[in-house]
Structure 1
Amino acid sequence: MKKSKLKKIIFTSMAFALIFAMTACNNSEQKAEEKKDSITMAVSEDISDLNAHLYNGSMLAQDMIFESLVRNTEKGPEPALAESWEISEDGKTYTFKLRKDVKFTDGEPFDAKAAKANFDAIQENKETHSWLELSNKIVGCDVVDEHTIALKLSDAYYPTLAELGLTRPYRMMSPKVFENGKTKDGVTDIVGTGPYKLKEHVTDQYASFEANDDYWNGKPSIKNITMKVMPSGETPLLALKKGEINFLFSTDTSGMIDADALKTLESDDKYKVHISKPCSTRYMLTNSDPSRIISDKNIKQAVWQSINKEELCNGVFSNFEKPASTIFAKSVPYCDVELKDRKFDEEASKKLIEKSGWTFDSNSGFYKKDGKTLVLELVYNSDKTMNKVIAEFIQANTKNVGIDLKLVAVEGNVMRDLRSQGKYDLYLDRSWGLPYDPQSTITALFSKQSFLTVTKDLNSFDEMHKTILDAMTTTDESTRKDLFKKELGFIHDEMCFIPLSYSSAIIVADKELGGVEFNQSQFEVPFYKFAY
């Protein structure tokens, strides 16, 4: 081979090597410079219809897109789309000064006209929102000037600000997406003022969101969020391990990940497990129908004292949940009240059953009276795998004291129908938690759409109802505290709820993810505060 040709080959090879090295170096530098700005998480259900004025959509997603006038925090309601407010002396008028230069993500201005359009649309569908007492109190919304509105109520109502700050229905949507000025029959697009906007949605597969870079409260550091639909339990854990997702959010509602998996992740150096303060209560509702055995207070208390809550929280929840002795934790507003503690005591349960005329049958292992076995039905939501475990634990405990507990597993919608029809003895559920509690859970006891079957046949019904209504409308804080103390005493004495455990929200994330915290509501995650 001639020298000139050899030199040419060597030169060409060196050139290619140099180009490859430079490319590799550039790629390496690019990777090093790449900033993590995305979250991919598992969700157990499709986000569905995100209309902020209705109830079909994912609350997690709705909170990312839509905002209200105020935001609920541990310190109480704080400014959001309203920068300030004044309350009239009689408590019937709330005047809100709205932020200026706020726009919906379709470019429409958020102003007093837009706020009024939202309140009018929500209140037109008032019956749907009747579970929320505020919807029954609102008389109207007036435009005072371009950036001021006056919300008029029929009566003073102390939870007004807290209920305005809930995830739904009092969130603001662009009036441009309303159908003939209404939202109750659907909207043409999903448009809010929040830190994120919906980018893509493939039903029952995934939904992706992108940051709203024009967000009035600053550009979010996390630019992209993807929610992948997968069954709760082991699947999200495997997806996390494989790198298919990098974030998990679990509550007693979603049950995305079980206690055993959390224990495993706590010992994994790649992740950090964040646990909120107790935010809601697992409980069983009791039916007040006098034709049912459970209406007997002795039987209610026998069930209550038959359940070993320490063992439940240790064995089933790996101590991620704590035993509950009252329907609300003492940290909940107005709930730091001393109430009788009904401790786990199997012998006491048996004596209570016998006090009501039941005799133990050693052949069956259950109590009997007039030839009938002491049988109760516990209804639970089969959509959540954890509910079956809890129900079976309670079944085993009640069997130890001679109660034959039949488990009735049904889907969520069917379950709610059974509750409103009174077709249950015990009903496994959980409270809405802060900021809904205590007012929403208590007022639900007197709503046909909610828990009326728990109270309607109680002798104390009228007085209980009047007490909570007075507590909601008084403008005197000291009087309100006394009324809540009285109401909580009624609820505890009547055993409307049999409390099981206080639960927390849980986030599992990459250890590098900073700014991780929880909102006051267990149905929301403040992604816009997070950053790598």
Structure 2
Amino acid sequence: MRALLRPMLAALMLCTVALAGGLTAYAADIPADTLRYSWPSNVGELNPHKYSPNQMFAQGMVYEPLVKYAKGGAIEPWLAESWTVSPDGKAYTFTLRKGVTFSDGTPFDSKAVRMNLETVLANRASHDWLELVAQIDRVETPDARTVRLVLKNAYYPTLQELALIRPVRFLSPSAFPASGNTAEGIKAPIGTGPWKLVETRKGEYDVLERNDAYWGKKPAIKRIVVRVIPDPNTRLVALQAGELDLVFGGGGHGGGQISLEAFDALKKGGKYATYLSPPQASRVIALNSKSGPTADIAVRKAILHTINKDAMVKGIFLNAEARADTLFPPTSPYCDLKLPPYAHDVARAEALLDEAGWKRTAPKGPRMKDGKPLTVDLCFVGNDALQKAIAEFLQSELARVGMQANLIGEEEDAIGERQKSGAFGMVFGDTWGAPYDPHSFVSGMRVPTHADYQAQLGLPMKADIDARIGKVLLTTDETARQNLYRDILTTLHDQAVYLPLTYQTSMVVHTARVDGVHFGAMDTEIPFEDMRLK
């Protein structure tokens, strides 16, 4: 499997004089108090209540939640210093922290909280993946420091979902549009967080500076320049040429900052600090149960039995990620179900296809059934080197059992549209990690604009799955909740709707110039505020 990546590694490690010279011209005269990072795109307008093209890591730098998700799953006070929950679980009353202001000096008070929550609720359709938004009945503000969320039903993940990077974070009232509806845009990205977005150049860079009026511990670093570098090869060149201080990301976050081969080479070189996070989420392929050959459960099960995940882990992931056999890691709440894995068994895969009528008609090429070939569109983000390598590996594996995988590599937005429309046979659809998994992820399974909904649409028990998801999110009984999750996840496992690949990790590479680097509690955040420059 390493042979698949040899040409890629050679390209990644080639630092040409011409390219490095061009990057150096940009990096001249960077002040000593500035950290240099990169991202595949600009961070966006940083509307706290909207999604793409707003980048989550930057939204998390500028905007803050009422409560914060901490490592180990604890919920900590943040903009709210305390809270109480009514006995029936339908009312959450928060006491806001004293003395907090937005970076423009506007007070952070209950009026500002209500203004933000009401614009989120006015655009519920945009947030239909997040059950909390559907469950909020009204927002009450008895005084300037008190906010009460009144829910329609008791909803157990309320605090976890209030901690998410979007959409329940807070924009200064002065930055709202005249209409009060942030779905129409914002005047400026003004939050209470430790950072401010101060400059953007489309296709070039973004600059975030320390918020010196921040209520909490102020960052040691004054400024962060985020270079726009879409290509992992170019990012590696920039790092090696001394024009970046930090590479942070991977897994589902960071768009494949650099390849694992490149990471392994940098680690062995000893020049940079390199480390990997614990498992954070699942790397998954969703299989379309409604259309094409994958509508046949025998085909889906054959796919799961065909893929040699151990070879993939060794050859592509260089053992940096562990093989996944279930949709969620067993460490996720309610997910340690001991479900029997689909073992790598090519003979079993071929038998399943034979029994289902998919017959070999030639030594090479796809099997046939009723005059139709066993071909499946495998869709991935074309400029993601890791997804491309995985897709090529899967294509090679499936050919062994007479299945032809047509590789479709497109821009990220185009793949997103395929996920929404169901125009795929197989598509990358990773889980979201803590604190989203499992509740937010399974909630999204009921939303037609999600790949999971489209993948499950052909299942005869789809309506029942959705009904059980609705119940599990609202039940207050812990035993009932565990049993419902067991039913939901066992059904999806038995129906072979997902091909779990690995449990994702994130990577860090940094120069000796940077200290205090660590992973956040969520895969979607980068703790720049704890970093220091030597």
- Asked if Structure 1 and Structure 2 have the same fold, meaning a TM-score greater than 0.5 normalized by the shorter chain, the answer is yes
Q: Secondary structure at the match of 1:359?
A: coil
Cα deviations by residue, 1:177-208 (Å, 9 ceiling, x for unpaired) = 10122211011111111111112111111111
Cα offset for 1:213? 2.1
Instruction: Specify the alignment match of 2:311 in structure 1.
Output: 311
Unaligned stretches of 5+ in structure 2? 1-30
Equivalent residue letter for 2:237: L
Cα deviations by residue, 1:86-119 (Å, 9 ceiling, x for unpaired) = 1112211111111010010000010111111110
Cα deviations by residue, 1:250-273 (Å, 9 ceiling, x for unpaired) = 213410100111012212333211
Instruction: Specify the alignment match of 2:498 in structure 1.
Output: 497
Q: Does the CA-based 8 Å contact 2:136-2:151 persist in structure 1?
A: yes
User: In structure 1, how many angstroms separate the alpha carbons of the residues matched to 2:220 and 2:421?
Assistant: 48
Residue correspondence of structure 1 range 265-304 to structure 2 within 5 A: 265-289=266-290, 291-304=291-304
Q: Secondary structure at the match of 1:398?
A: helix
User: In structure 1, how many angstroms separate the alpha carbons of the residues matched to 2:397 and 2:161?
Assistant: 38
User: In structure 2, how many angstroms separate the alpha carbons of the residues matched to 1:89 and 1:57?
Assistant: 38
Equivalent residue letter for 2:111: K
Instruction: Specify the alignment match of 1:20 in structure 2.
Output: none
Instruction: Specify the alignment match of 1:386 in structure 2.
Output: 386
Q: Normalising by structure 2, what TM-score?
A: 0.90
Residue correspondence of structure 1 range 511-522 to structure 2 within 5 A: 511=512, 513-522=514-523
User: In structure 1, how many angstroms separate the alpha carbons of the residues matched to 2:102 and 2:170?
Assistant: 9
Instruction: Specify the alignment match of 2:49 in structure 1.
Output: 53
Cα deviations by residue, 1:437-460 (Å, 9 ceiling, x for unpaired) = 111221222111113222233122
Instruction: Specify the alignment match of 2:229 in structure 1.
Output: 230
Match of 1:38 among 6, 12, 34: 34
User: In structure 2, how many angstroms separate the alpha carbons of the residues matched to 1:418 and 1:209?
Assistant: 33
Cα offset for 1:36? 5.8
Instruction: Specify the alignment match of 2:259 in structure 1.
Output: 258
Instruction: Specify the alignment match of 2:444 in structure 1.
Output: 444
Instruction: Specify the alignment match of 1:123 in structure 2.
Output: 121
Cα offset for 1:414? 2.3
User: Does 2:464 correspond to 1:463?
Assistant: yes
Moved more, 306-315 or 35-44: 35-44
Cα offset for 1:365? 4.1
User: Does 2:485 correspond to 1:487?
Assistant: no
User: In structure 2, how many angstroms separate the alpha carbons of the residues matched to 1:356 and 1:394?
Assistant: 21
Cα deviations by residue, 1:296-352 (Å, 9 ceiling, x for unpaired) = 211101001111111112111222222110011111111111101111111111011
Q: Secondary structure at the match of 2:510?
A: strand
Residue correspondence of structure 1 range 351-390 to structure 2 within 5 A: 351-390=351-390
User: In structure 2, how many angstroms separate the alpha carbons of the residues matched to 1:272 and 1:79?
Assistant: 32
User: In structure 2, how many angstroms separate the alpha carbons of the residues matched to 1:267 and 1:358?
Assistant: 47
Please give the root-mean-square deviation of Cα atoms over the aligned residues, in Å: 1.6
Residue correspondence of structure 1 range 12-411 to structure 2 within 5 A: 37-55=33-51, 56-73=53-70, 74-180=72-178, 181-253=180-252, 254-289=255-290, 291-411=291-411
Q: Does the CA-based 8 Å contact 2:97-2:145 persist in structure 1?
A: yes
Cα deviations by residue, 1:364-400 (Å, 9 ceiling, x for unpaired) = 3432223332122212222423222111110000001
Cα offset for 1:510? 2.4
Q: Does the CA-based 8 Å contact 1:37-1:531 persist in structure 2?
A: no
Moved more, 346-355 or 385-394: 385-394
Cα deviations by residue, 1:109-143 (Å, 9 ceiling, x for unpaired) = 10111111110111111111111111111112110
Q: Does the CA-based 8 Å contact 2:421-2:449 persist in structure 1?
A: no
Q: Does the CA-based 8 Å contact 1:380-1:429 persist in structure 2?
A: no
Cα deviations by residue, 1:460-495 (Å, 9 ceiling, x for unpaired) = 223212222111101122221221122111111112
User: In structure 2, how many angstroms separate the alpha carbons of the residues matched to 1:308 and 1:511?
Assistant: 39
Q: Secondary structure at the match of 2:501?
A: strand
Q: Does the CA-based 8 Å contact 2:281-2:431 persist in structure 1?
A: yes
User: In structure 2, how many angstroms separate the alpha carbons of the residues matched to 1:531 and 1:476?
Assistant: 45
Q: Does the CA-based 8 Å contact 1:251-1:522 persist in structure 2?
A: no
Cα offset for 1:37? 4.0
User: In structure 2, how many angstroms separate the alpha carbons of the residues matched to 1:194 and 1:454?
Assistant: 38
User: In structure 1, how many angstroms separate the alpha carbons of the residues matched to 2:532 and 2:486?
Assistant: 43
Instruction: Specify the alignment match of 1:29 in structure 2.
Output: none
User: In structure 1, how many angstroms separate the alpha carbons of the residues matched to 2:293 and 2:139?
Assistant: 48
Cα offset for 1:412? 2.3
User: In structure 2, how many angstroms separate the alpha carbons of the residues matched to 1:102 and 1:512?
Assistant: 32
User: In structure 2, how many angstroms separate the alpha carbons of the residues matched to 1:278 and 1:511?
Assistant: 26
Equivalent residue letter for 1:197: K
Q: Does the CA-based 8 Å contact 2:141-2:148 persist in structure 1?
A: yes
Equivalent residue letter for 2:195: Y
User: In structure 2, how many angstroms separate the alpha carbons of the residues matched to 1:386 and 1:252?
Assistant: 9
Q: Secondary structure at the match of 1:187?
A: coil
Equivalent residue letter for 2:382: S
Q: Secondary structure at the match of 1:215?
A: coil
Cα offset for 1:432? 1.6
Moved more, 228-237 or 513-522: 513-522
Q: Normalising by structure 1, what TM-score?
A: 0.90
User: In structure 1, how many angstroms separate the alpha carbons of the residues matched to 2:513 and 2:270?
Assistant: 11
Q: How many residues align?
A: 497
Unaligned stretches of 5+ in structure 1? 1-34
Quickly say closer, same or farther: Cα 1:363–1:495, change in 2 above 3 A.
Answer: closer
User: In structure 1, how many angstroms separate the alpha carbons of the residues matched to 2:265 and 2:457?
Assistant: 46
Cα deviations by residue, 1:406-434 (Å, 9 ceiling, x for unpaired) = 12222222223223322222112312222
Q: Does the CA-based 8 Å contact 1:104-1:191 persist in structure 2?
A: yes
Q: Does the CA-based 8 Å contact 1:276-1:504 persist in structure 2?
A: yes
User: In structure 2, how many angstroms separate the alpha carbons of the residues matched to 1:132 and 1:454?
Assistant: 19
User: In structure 2, how many angstroms separate the alpha carbons of the residues matched to 1:268 and 1:357?
Assistant: 53
User: In structure 2, how many angstroms separate the alpha carbons of the residues matched to 1:302 and 1:378?
Assistant: 15
Moved more, 367-376 or 192-201: 367-376
Q: Secondary structure at the match of 2:185?
A: strand
User: In structure 1, how many angstroms separate the alpha carbons of the residues matched to 2:325 and 2:473?
Assistant: 25
Q: Secondary structure at the match of 1:507?
A: strand
Q: Does the CA-based 8 Å contact 2:245-2:513 persist in structure 1?
A: no
Cα offset for 1:512? 5.5
